[in-house]
Chain A
Amino acid sequence: MTERILHTGNDTVARAAISAGCKHYFAYPITPQSEIAHYMARELPKIGGCFLQSEGEYAAAYMLLGAALSGERVMTSTSSPGLALMQEPLSMMVTAEIPAVVVETQRLGPGTGTGGQQGQTDYRFVTRGVYGGLHYPVLAPYSVSEIFEFVQLAFHIADKYRILTMVLTDFVLGRMTEYLELKTFDFGPLPEKDWALKGKAHKGGRSNFLFTVTGMMLDITGFFQGQQEKSKRIIDSETRWETYKTEDADFLIVSYGYSARMSKGAVNTARAQGIKAGLFRPITLWPFPREALQQEALKAGKVLVVEDSPGELVEDVELAVQGRVPVHFLGIQARHIARAEGLILPERILQEVRELL
């Protein structure tokens, strides 16, 4: 029987990474996800891995890049302002096709924000890719079990396509404790890492160089064509979403992360009250499940986007629906209290559904 344990989301990030064969982790402390670093600092030395606390997030992401050059599975984790500092190295990694996993436990607000409390204000920030016009996949779990699965899946996607892959969680998911089944996953075969920089003696005397300087490439359009083809392969094969009670739904809620969990509660209560509500949950935020969402939206005829932000996911939903059905929005003003501890609770979502019916 599969072992079942109680685990927090943040500890699960670390545990999942180690289960995926990640032995090297680089990070700088930042609330609300420093527990990931605590776990790694404790566990990685036991398995001959490397834990290194960097001099900042910029350096942490460059350390991630440096370690990833070896072809080993490596990870960093951070929260919103830290991710801002990582933007240059992340773009470098996407450019030079150096795979690694970044876990972003988003925290509320711009600037320093609330100092690390719940919110979903980084959707746009992480789904629009890196500077330079390229995307990377973003997986959005909504439970501890999914964190365990998606962190491991992220390593697989990263290695499969040689691309930086992100897992986006939030304060609520990171800090909550749930039952977790320690399942093992087989995501399929992976290509050999013949590009890894381990010294040319490892490659029969043939040296390799990985460069981020596209200006030195002879074929700029060819570079972008290769990247676009890769994006297309990812869009075709890795776009993921989940529907919940949408078969006969005439009201569709669209949500991700912790607010999707709340929305699921709202759907259950609505059903008990005879309202045919359903939930559409994008799992990959990039690539966004546009076509699947459009179909469900057209079927239901009415859409409500629920996210703990001023409105970011709603933009992708509007793009997917293309004005063919009305798209309503329930955002950060719907919190049960106005302070940083506020949450968008199922009762509030249900109230909105009733008003829009």
Chain B
Amino acid sequence: MIEETAITKNLVCKTPAFRLLPLGFCAGCHYGIIFRLIDEVLEEMELKGITVCIGGGGCSAMGAMAMDVDAFGGPHGPGTAIASALKRVCPDNFIFAIQGDGEQGAIGLGSFVAAAVRGENITIITMNNACYGMTGGQLAPTTPLGMVTPTTPEGRDQEMAGFPFHGPELVAPLRGVAYAARGTVHTPANRQRSKKMVKTAFQKQLQRLGFAVVEFICACPTNWRLSPVDCARYIEEKMIPEFPLGEFKNVEKNEG
């Protein structure tokens, strides 16, 4: 039997103080892991008191709703425009937006790229689950070639739906972008690497270096119609070859 003191001694991180529990994500969804990870980073960097989180529409809104920071959410796609303006009006606040891949690569693509072009001093967390999770798993800009979705019943075909969208790589060459990276949480090691990415991305905002984006590849067992374990395999075999992990840009000082 483990004594209570032993647990306290080995405490590496407090349980996030979520405002709403349970989170409401499907079993095996990676969103819960990612929100906890973000919460840990905010806690460790002592940012919670000054943070405003801009959630999107869809599953990511539930995470924003749950986190114990000031938050706004609901609209699908314009998170970068909302965050840009709030950050300009409140430069001493820490502002980050959570976007789904459809928000970033389809309906909100204009605002995503425009904010990156302007070099807005905000942080974007992208949830790439290769589909529109909440609406039934339809084709997203990030759906891998061949993946079957309700709107690509024969699998994504580049003749019809083009090739998968790569958000971080798209904006990385822009001069206003300070940081662009992609991670996953499907293994503990990857989770820790991704946490470091989030931390680095958050630091760029504190250093006022410009736009930062971290994309997470995440499992959507419900819409992929795979078990959580098979989802992890799918990420290894299909997602990572299409969406390489790592940092695409990391600037240490303003390009001016």
Which residues in A have some Cβ–Cβ distance to B below 8 Å? Answer: 24, 26, 50, 52, 54-56, 58-59, 62-67, 69-70, 72, 74, 88-89, 92, 95-96, 197-201, 205, 207-213, 216
Contacts and interface: CB of A to CB of B under 8 A. Distances in A.
A29 to B, nearest CB: 15
18 contacts: A50-B85, A52-B88, A55-B81, A64-B85, A65-B85, A66-B82, A67-B85, A89-B75, A200-B48, A200-B70, A208-B70, A208-B71, A209-B70, A210-B71, A210-B72, A211-B73, A213-B61, A216-B61
Contact of A211 (B51, B72, B89): B72
Contacts of B52: 69, 197-199
A325 B104 CA distance: 56
B54 interface: yes
A219 B14 CA distance: 33
B142 interface: no
Contact of A67 (B51, B57, B75, B88): B88
Contacts of A74: 89
A198 B69 CA distance: 10
B75 A212 contact: yes
B114 interface: yes
Given A96-B72, A199-B69, 9 more contacts: A24-B89, A52-B85, A54-B81, A66-B81, A69-B86, A72-B89, A199-B93, A200-B51, A213-B61
Given A24-B89, A66-B54, A199-B93, A96 B82 contact: no
Closest 9 pairs (CB-CB, A-B): A201-B49, A212-B74, A66-B82, A63-B85, A66-B85, A55-B114, A62-B78, A199-B50, A197-B70
Contacts of A95: 74
Interface residues on B, range: 35 or more
B83 interface: yes
A27 B74 CA distance: 22
B70 A62 contact: no
B82 A211 contact: no
B148 to A, nearest CB: 28
B90 A70 contact: yes
Nearest to B64: A209
Given A59-B81, A199-B49, A212 B71 contact: no
A50 B72 CA distance: 21
Nearest to B51: A199
B50 A213 contact: no
B25 to A, nearest CB: 14
A201 B82 CA distance: 21
B110 interface: yes
A70 to B, nearest CB: 5
B35 interface: no
Nearest to B47: A199
A66 B95 CA distance: 11
Nearest to A197: B70
A72 B61 CA distance: 24
A70 B78 contact: no
Contact of B89 (A58, A59, A70, A207): A70
